[in-house]
Structure 1
């Protein structure tokens, strides 16, 4: 059993959908669980629908959603012939689910409506791709992940009910018994296709697992299916030492440990979703990051093995704000004030990118999001005087060397610096 995850970029055009089919034909005879994200920028478009609906602009929300419908119907018409009517019927059920909601008025919190609307992107894409593959005899069965992955009702960042979800996966496996020697059968296919990013509560309300949560979904299935591996297919060679869009000399890293990838994700690397690693590490399931544009490239393998002699790994986060917190009565910033700050972080879902403490002050770097900064200031204002500095960038280098660091800081004004044996972080303007 192998688990594959394809992101939105891999199904963002007719050519890439055809490429997906060709790629899967190279795995004829393998038992595959495939997780597919929404096509292209569909998630962003559905977010705009949700915002218009919640603001009371029903007409605008319906207009925006109609554009999304037409895009998916155009794709289906272009790539499907014999399976078009069946695909259309399934899509219409999904469209009706959203339009029924949009004709109502919001009476619950924004996050609830976000999940009910935005989750549809994955359902649209997997519906079309499943019918397309079946038409070209890459036989598969389509699954609604909301029938399998149970979560709580913490909308937009739901927590998995592992026990319930495991039972559902076990039941699915028991019904999945392909006949030996006859792979890729129409009646009993070796491939299952489902959605990433979404789940469902025990009240059958859709939930999402956080942005980029499709990687996490794939890891959940790999864990519960005891898969031999998980492969995340991307539009890059594999895990790179830096963002190749920013650094032309970024190099492919062939091997990484689970520990290293967790560190990279913690510091802001956009390669692997932070939640993805734990379900894999717990069962020792290797993760492959490969290029869907050229499946023959070696990619990156991530596993328990400790990898030595890694190159410097560079991560830059733009649009950072530095919050200066100063004790109002000049008392030491000890256990009680710090406990309060961490309570605020948890309650407000604030994820600092860097924290530095002094005797009577704390400096907190975080993404420059006005809402989060205002919440932190309001909650911590009872014991701290607060100043905010914006327009900053945060450079992190794992396995750094001084020459590289000095080169990257040329012409920059350093605001704050932290350094350990393996990692240096510099906030600069």
Structure 2
């Protein structure tokens, strides 16, 4: 039993769909396989644009038509016969999307967001299901919302692990005996039937959930990079590939913002010692990287960048010390407004934290704490992290930058700075 996860870049056009078919046909017929697929290309971004316009009561018809055209063009390349069932599946999803957009109200943003944005994964998985079937690769389409139950934390649903594991173990092994399964990443459903999402880029986590619950032999994430690299090749030059890496190291890299892996992906795999392979869908014969229960010496430094950051500094209004009570108020407000702490530092009279620059959430946080604190902030900023740093890597990354805040431990160095023009490195 294995799980494959294909990201948006691996199903961005008709040729990419053909490549997915090629990869799947290399899997031995004795293997049971479950495939998790993300929304195609930049569809999630397109849906966010459409939903944002609808939420602001603006005309979204052009953006919606562009997205419809994108999917229809790919369908026409994959299915020359205009009466192929794939077209009816697409139409059903766009009909739902149009109806949902017409009822969007200018409040309750997060709940409505999940009902709209989730359509992307349904579109891609249905197209892949129909395409594979048309090429003789028998498979079954599965609505993952029937099996992944979450609470009503919109845009970052918290999984009900016990219910989810019971459902998957009870029903899916028998389904997999018949043929491979094609399903969605990123989405789930509450007990009351409302669609939820698991957080941006959450499809990796979905695949890990299925792998954990099915006690899979392995999970493979197919990316447009040759494996787990020590830096994002779009941002940094001279990257290197790790051949293998331990679970704990990968969890920390994901926590700090490494873009290849969703932060929640590795933990459930580590609990059951399920290897995670990161491989290139462009070069599927290459070895990629395996993340598993291994031991290794100090590895090459990894460079991680989080852009669009906001640095918040809290000062007491009476110039008093920052006490545990003050910290409690700040942490509770950060949690309430779902602002993840990416870096924090405490001094005698101030507390500073770096968070994602989500304007609405930051403004809500500032409004709540304005009576208690003087709040200063800077944005937009960059947050760099160097894991397993050495002196050469420190000098390479900090040279020429205006550093506003820095922090280091034995293996990790982080600093917040203003964006510079000499990027990438």
Check conservation: 2:54, 2:101, Cα contact below 8 A.
Answer: yes
Q: CA deviation at 1:117?
A: 1.3
Aligned to 1:185: none
Q: Relative to 1, partners in 2 of residues 1:73 and 1:392: Cα closer, same or farther, differing over 3 Å?
A: closer
Aligned to 1:3: 3
The C-alpha deviation readout for 1:385-413, integer Å capped at 9, x for no partner, is: 22223343222111111122113222222
d(CA) in 1 for partners of 2:118, 2:358: 24
Check conservation: 1:76, 1:84, Cα contact below 8 A.
Answer: no
The correspondence of residues 369-384 of structure 1 with structure 2, limited to 5 A, is 369-384=358-373
The C-alpha deviation readout for 1:287-318, integer Å capped at 9, x for no partner, is: 11010111111111111223322001111223
Aligned to 2:38: 37
- Of 169-178 and 6-15, deviating more is 169-178
TM-score, normalisation: structure 1: 0.92
Check conservation: 1:8, 1:41, Cα contact below 8 A.
Answer: yes
- Of 6-15 and 80-89, deviating more is 80-89
d(CA) in 1 for partners of 2:312, 2:53: 32
Q: Relative to 1, partners in 2 of residues 1:318 and 1:55: Cα closer, same or farther, differing over 3 Å?
A: closer
Aligned to 1:422: 411
d(CA) in 2 for partners of 1:174, 1:75: 32
2:56 is aligned with 1:46: no
Aligned to 2:130: 131
3-state SS in 1 of match to 2:44: helix
Calculate the aligned-residue CA RMSD, in Å.
1.8
Aligned to 2:26: 26
Check conservation: 1:83, 1:132, Cα contact below 8 A.
Answer: no
3-state SS in 2 of match to 1:88: helix
Check conservation: 1:83, 1:135, Cα contact below 8 A.
Answer: no
Name stretches of at least 5 consecutive residues in structure 1 with no aligned partner: 179-187
Q: Relative to 1, partners in 2 of residues 1:53 and 1:292: Cα closer, same or farther, differing over 3 Å?
A: same
Q: Relative to 1, partners in 2 of residues 1:177 and 1:324: Cα closer, same or farther, differing over 3 Å?
A: closer
d(CA) in 2 for partners of 1:318, 1:194: 31
Aligned to 2:375: 386
Q: CA deviation at 1:106?
A: 2.4
Q: Relative to 1, partners in 2 of residues 1:177 and 1:2: Cα closer, same or farther, differing over 3 Å?
A: closer
The C-alpha deviation readout for 1:141-194, integer Å capped at 9, x for no partner, is: 11111122112222211111222222321232353363xxxxxxxxx32x1000
- Of 246-255 and 4-13, deviating more is 246-255
- Of 275-284 and 82-91, deviating more is 82-91
Q: Relative to 1, partners in 2 of residues 1:327 and 1:402: Cα closer, same or farther, differing over 3 Å?
A: same
Q: CA deviation at 1:7?
A: 0.3
Aligned to 2:271: 282
Check conservation: 2:33, 2:176, Cα contact below 8 A.
Answer: no
Aligned to 1:346: 335
d(CA) in 2 for partners of 1:377, 1:101: 32
d(CA) in 2 for partners of 1:351, 1:69: 34
Q: CA deviation at 1:228?
A: 0.6
Check conservation: 2:144, 2:184, Cα contact below 8 A.
Answer: yes
From 270, 274, 281, the equivalent of 2:259 is: 270
3-state SS in 1 of match to 2:166: helix
3-state SS in 2 of match to 1:232: strand
